[in-house]
Chains A and B, each alone.
Chain A
Amino acid sequence: MNGSKSRPEPAKGSRPRASKGPRPEPAEGSRPRLSTAPRRSFVASYLNDIPRSGIRDFFDIVSARKDVISLGIGEPDFVTPWRIREASITALDRGATTYTSNRGLIELRRQIARYLGQAFDVAYDPENEILITVGVSEALDLAMRAILEPGDEVMYHEPCFVSYNPEIRFAHGVPVPVVTRRENGFRLTRPMLEEKVSPRTKALLLSFPTNPTGATLTREDVEGIAAFAQAHDILVITDEIYSELTYEGERVSIASLPGMKERTIFLHGFSKSWAMTGFRLGYACAPVELSEAMMKIHQYIMMCAPILSQKAAIEALKSNVDTDEMRASYEHRRNFICAGLNEAGIPCHVPKGAFYVFPYVGDYGLTSKDFALRLLDEENVACVPGSAFGASGEGFLRCSYSTDLEAIKEAVTRMARFVARLRKG
């Protein structure tokens, strides 16, 4: 729509008026009265079983306080690189204010296909295997709705992102968490999956590097999981949103392994690596049949992702915006906070990805929620209790290091002081 025939803006005051003349006064006595008739709850009953996000609860508590140092933030502390913002502004300037095709701008899909080939060694056809969505959140919802019959089981590893369990249940699936442990860096391996698999298992949801643990997988782990999926004829949904933020070790997407593309939905987006959370832009890649199924839902519920975000994303990929500097900065802060917490006697494994550390705080006779509340109360430092990320997160604290180094320094000092007090009793 950027051609010379630009669409005219509606002239001022051209909006047709519904009626002319004074509006008729409502007749006396017709004002609605408060009804006393019995009313049932109109909220669907299955929603009652789904708790509010633990993050949301904590957000309310933290927001009520002043001068909090927050390690509770799950988004980059960088503003979107200027080149990307500038591309979006230019697009707006040129009148890019329309819908796009349901799948998203073809130029963006081509850029994504090229990028994924280079960075992940996977091949998707931009014409019919890539779908642009409103964040990975929408893509995940589409995936669940596209594949689940009521009662189908979806396995996922825990502790994990807060949305996975509810998203499965919204799609009338049954969530089956597989608990990962600190002892092996919160990795997921085939034997752990074999314990929980059942004839109703339809899919396995992976997210590495993991929010909140920062865990990553080795190539052997991924190969084992792929063999598991093939042996049990299970679909894999892989959420790669933190993939570029991998600091150590090889980055292997399960979609790149032989025989896996046809049973994988690959989800990714721009929020984390390009610091574009507010643009709300993600994408789902899958073989044609699955992609068309997701597309069917997407076209009715969302129509398309916002065009300005798509234009910005094209620039992010086309211009090869340098994200290495941001990654290096996260890595320095990761090293700093791990060293600082461990020196303070708060045991903290060194996560290999994402921007969270997940220290263990279970030795003080407090639940992770009580620990977090007291830390907030006594030292004004906000961290998210591990229990917000599933029952197996109990005993841990999620500390985001996506905040400026001076704040991290101060937070670590305060946390050290806090646990020293707890130890004294």
Chain B
Amino acid sequence: MDELLKLLRANALESPKNLARMLNSTEGAVKAKIAEYERTGVIRGYQAVVNTDRLDVDLVRAVIEIKVTPEREGGFNRLAERVSKFAEVESVWLMSGTYDLLAVVTGRNLKEVAFFVSEKLATINGILSTATHFMLKTYKSNGVLMVEEQPDERLKVSP
């Protein structure tokens, strides 16, 4: 991956000026490259990594294994896109193995998620079965530990 993308994935808030310093480049060149990534869809957005466990909000998240019947034209794509369009669905992947699609679904409570799965997902033509697993606690997300390690402090001056 391009060094600029790596730096942005680590910290999307870094200023173009500082990025340019780190990459031995110029602010203008960095801005242009970012604009190009945004235009071509390489960069799809910028989000904060939030530890929802720390918030006093009603939020339930589940991963759902979905088995589908692939269609003659387009294979899994049409069904996967259909699933993806629901606002309740956070992420969708096509998987190898014993099921076909893996979806992450959120809701305000268990009942809401369960209702969504049984009423909306399971009833889609072509979906054969679903298996729902509720998430209990997040330890690491998007490469970020939810609880930072606290290593021993280094000596302030050392050889």
Binding site for B on A (CB under 8 A): 53, 55, 58-59, 62-63, 68, 70, 72-75, 77, 79, 161-163, 211, 328, 332-333, 335-336, 339-340, 382, 384, 405, 409
Contact = CB atoms under 8 A, between A and B. Distances in A.
A332 B23 contact: yes
A72 B158 contact: yes
Nearest to B150: A79
Contacts of A339: 21, 24
B17 to A, nearest CB: 10
Contacts of A70: 156-157
B158 A340 contact: no
Contacts of B24: 335, 339
Interface string B116-159: 00000000000000000000000000000000010100111111
A358 B155 CA distance: 20
Contact of A73 (B21, B23, B149, B155): B155
A79 B159 CA distance: 18
Q: What are the 4 closest A-B residue pairs judged by CB atoms, nearest first?
A: A72-B157, A332-B22, A339-B21, A59-B157
Contact of B159 (A55, A63, A77, A405): A55
A72 B149 CA distance: 23
A369 to B, nearest CB: 13
A272 to B, nearest CB: 12
Given A332-B3, A332-B22, 5 more contacts: A55-B157, A63-B157, A73-B155, A211-B159, A340-B21
Contact of A384 (B3, B149, B157): B157
Given A333-B22, A339-B21, A162 B159 contact: yes
B6 interface: yes
A409 B18 CA distance: 9
Contacts of B3: 328, 332
B127 to A, nearest CB: 39
Nearest to A53: B159
B156 A161 contact: no
Contacts of A74: 158-159
Interface residues of B, number: 16
A140 to B, nearest CB: 13
B154 to A, nearest CB: 5
A73 B154 contact: yes
Nearest to A384: B157
A62 B154 contact: no
Interface of B: 3, 6-7, 18, 21-24, 149, 151, 154-159
Given A53-B159, A332-B7, A77 B154 contact: yes
Given A73-B154, A328-B6, A332-B7, A163 B21 contact: no
A172 to B, nearest CB: 23
Contacts of B159: 53, 55, 74, 161-163, 211
Nearest to A77: B154
Contacts of A59: 155-158
A384 B3 CA distance: 31
A53 to B, nearest CB: 7
B156 A382 contact: yes
A302 to B, nearest CB: 20
A62 B157 contact: yes
Contacts of A161: 159
B125 to A, nearest CB: 45
A382 B157 contact: yes
A409 to B, nearest CB: 7
Contacts of A409: 18
Contacts of A79: 149, 151
Contacts of B149: 79
A58 B157 contact: yes
B156 A63 contact: yes
Contacts of A62: 156-157
11 contacts: A55-B158, A73-B156, A74-B158, A162-B159, A163-B159, A332-B3, A332-B23, A336-B18, A339-B21, A339-B24, A405-B18
A59 B159 CA distance: 10
B21 to A, nearest CB: 4
A217 to B, nearest CB: 22
A68 B154 CA distance: 13
